[in-house]
Structure 1
């Protein structure tokens, strides 16, 4: 079987789809990943055969603006390499492609934020492309795979085949301090993912946060792009800063402070690490609301600090609370157990194989 995986947006989309794509390759299927140029390095870093379809990064919520070019690029690709099945994510462009090719379509996402309204808008925006291709309607996905633990799914989320989250990130040479806990100290991880150099904490208080944590005897790691270490390393005192494989270091941490990215949040949940989330956009806020609503995190809204509290104090106070209250770690471990009990990519692959066989 030939499976075309399609991704756009951030590196998180590549990391999210990599376990299922790897399972398909390990089962003997042919796999190609269609992605944007900015995502090529991420695809290569996790061992996926990737084809560039556009030079610029796709922006979610802009299907109507870029659909024609993306569909044409995908049609050119599939004219040379004809898939038996298409796997897509948040964008509905791959769904158009599958309808045009008359092959099954699988939607594969992390459904933690309400998407019904945005989905309806995106489908309406794609109507001109359907007419251009001679399609009368956009059929529903043949299979909907959701990586989100059921306890975090939003109300009204569509029925889905749950799948276990398997961490995938770009690796580097692993050193002993990454996979061992510091003796006699707790450890906190701070990261802004791959979109920003460092976390933009309320009141631009990253240095203060580091000082508060280290002053309390906590070891601080900052997982960031290499250029962040060059620019900020000397300013942040006694910390390790640079590209740190999140899946390796997460099990050694007692706390994580981050921006609300999907890969970051689920990799930390997978390791049972309580989180303080400083969302950098609406999606990050939805992640923070879901995880904090379960009791496994604290949401630090940079625009709405608690009454009488300075913005810079919000994150610091939240870290103190998480480190001082074992219930946050207990709730996160409960989520980790729920996620670990979900079907593996190998198991879900059997459902995909059945779509093509029928």
Structure 2
């Protein structure tokens, strides 16, 4: 069977779908991953074949409207979610030029798409193919889907549709205990962390006597994006009596300058390093959040975007994290206080372990591959 995976334009869109894509390939199916051209090196790093479906980046579509006019990122949280939905819809339209001929020539049996890859349902409808929607994190706000549908209204009307087509299956990677209250039926799948690798050093898999705290601003940090936020976060935790690890691209780590003996900075393999940590402090990236749960690590989350607030709040309400609001209550004093509470109160670790066991009990990617093939065959039989 041929599986066409459709992804977005960042590591946060590629990595969550990779375990299922690898499982499908390892089960003997043919697999291609379609995504923006700029993330093809990331796809290649997974060992999977990738096909670029647009030469433009995700940020190109977020920053300009259909007519090429520049857009400003709204400051209002609700407007920011609407902005994200419209931008991802424009990415979907831009991806059609590469996705349509890929489907015509390769003739996949099923499309599997990240939750915000709206090109997949349009192409699936056009060619009469089954499609599977794959969650990317612990749940995007539903307003993003509604905003995307509004942006796509002319194209949907042209196709005789009143809404974005519903998937034949929804693959959920959020543990049931922390799901959105309005989340619908789903095929659950165990979240399997995936990240790029490097040669391991002993400190990466064995820690010393001090508590180990990892600080991260996500996989998309550059000199122009989130670098200042990462530096500010590091300054807020630097006074703690801990071993401090800073996860960042090497050029960003180098820009931090000389660091104390108890601090290490650079690109780290999270799937190894996180298991040695006692606390994760981060900007509420969805992959990073689930990754920490799998590794049993409590979290201090400071959401960078409005769409991350809901999932962060649910994790905090469950008792596995503390959430602070960026620019409001994330002062150095509050960050340090929250870190000490998370390190000293065993209840946070216990609740995190509960969610970790929940994830471990969910169907593996191989099991979901089997469920998808059965769905496709049943659909073909009518």
Secondary structure at the aligned position of 1:167 is classed as coil
Residue 181 (structure 2) pairs with residue 155 (structure 1): yes
Q: Which whole-Å CA distance do the structure 1 matches of 2:251 and 2:142 have between them?
A: 38
Q: Which whole-Å CA distance do the structure 1 matches of 2:203 and 2:178 have between them?
A: 32
1:69 pairs with 94, 103, 106, which one?
94
Residue 246 (structure 2) pairs with residue 222 (structure 1): yes
Q: Which whole-Å CA distance do the structure 2 matches of 1:118 and 1:267 have between them?
A: 24
Normalising by the residue count of structure 2, what TM-score does the alignment of the two structures yield?
0.86
Quote the residue 1:265 is aligned against.
289
Q: Any conservation in 2 of the 1:67–1:126 contact (CA below 8 Å)?
A: no
Secondary structure at the aligned position of 1:234 is classed as coil
Q: Which whole-Å CA distance do the structure 2 matches of 1:199 and 1:299 have between them?
A: 21
Q: Which whole-Å CA distance do the structure 2 matches of 1:66 and 1:251 have between them?
A: 36
Q: Summarize the alignment of residues 6-85 of structure 1 with structure 2, pairs less than 5 Å apart.
A: 6-58=6-58, 59=62, 60-61=84-85, 62-85=87-110
Offset at residue 303 of structure 1 (A): 2.3
Q: CA 1:295 to 1:201, structure 2 compared with 1: closer, same or farther past 3 Å?
A: farther
Quote the residue 1:242 is aligned against.
266
Q: Summarize the alignment of residues 89-168 of structure 1 with structure 2, pairs less than 5 Å apart.
A: 89=114, 90-110=116-136, 112-113=138-139, 115-133=141-159, 138-168=164-194
The more displaced of 94-103 and 119-128 is 119-128
Q: Summarize the alignment of residues 163-202 of structure 1 with structure 2, pairs less than 5 Å apart.
A: 163-182=189-208, 184-197=209-222
**1:244-293 CA deviation, whole Å, 9 max, x = no partner?**
00001111110110110111111110000001112111123223212111
Q: Which whole-Å CA distance do the structure 2 matches of 1:284 and 1:77 have between them?
A: 33
Q: Which whole-Å CA distance do the structure 2 matches of 1:166 and 1:293 have between them?
A: 23
Quote the residue 1:335 is aligned against.
355
Structure 2 portions without partners, runs of 5+: 63-83
Q: Which whole-Å CA distance do the structure 2 matches of 1:92 and 1:351 have between them?
A: 22
Offset at residue 193 of structure 1 (A): 1.4
Q: CA 1:124 to 1:80, structure 2 compared with 1: closer, same or farther past 3 Å?
A: same
RMSD (CA atoms): 2.1
Q: Which whole-Å CA distance do the structure 1 matches of 2:151 and 2:280 have between them?
A: 39
Offset at residue 151 of structure 1 (A): 1.0
Secondary structure at the aligned position of 1:23 is classed as helix
Q: Summarize the alignment of residues 290-309 of structure 1 with structure 2, pairs less than 5 Å apart.
A: 290-305=314-329
Secondary structure at the aligned position of 2:256 is classed as helix
The more displaced of 173-182 and 51-60 is 51-60
Q: CA 1:136 to 1:322, structure 2 compared with 1: closer, same or farther past 3 Å?
A: closer
Q: Which whole-Å CA distance do the structure 2 matches of 1:203 and 1:68 have between them?
A: 36
Offset at residue 201 of structure 1 (A): 5.4
Offset at residue 121 of structure 1 (A): 2.8
In the TM superposition, structure 1's runs of 4+ consecutive aligned residues that sit over 6 Å from their partners are none
Aligned residues: 349
Q: Which whole-Å CA distance do the structure 2 matches of 1:136 and 1:201 have between them?
A: 41
Q: CA 1:238 to 1:14, structure 2 compared with 1: closer, same or farther past 3 Å?
A: same
Q: Which whole-Å CA distance do the structure 2 matches of 1:303 and 1:332 have between them?
A: 26
Quote the residue 1:206 is aligned against.
234
**1:157-176 CA deviation, whole Å, 9 max, x = no partner?**
11111110001100001112
Q: CA 1:111 to 1:225, structure 2 compared with 1: closer, same or farther past 3 Å?
A: closer
Q: Any conservation in 2 of the 1:3–1:31 contact (CA below 8 Å)?
A: yes
Offset at residue 72 of structure 1 (A): 2.4
Q: Which whole-Å CA distance do the structure 2 matches of 1:70 and 1:132 have between them?
A: 18
Q: Which whole-Å CA distance do the structure 1 matches of 2:147 and 2:314 have between them?
A: 24
Q: Any conservation in 1 of the 2:140–2:307 contact (CA below 8 Å)?
A: no
Q: Any conservation in 2 of the 1:4–1:33 contact (CA below 8 Å)?
A: yes
Quote the residue 1:322 is aligned against.
342
Normalising by the residue count of structure 1, what TM-score does the alignment of the two structures yield?
0.91
Offset at residue 133 of structure 1 (A): 4.8
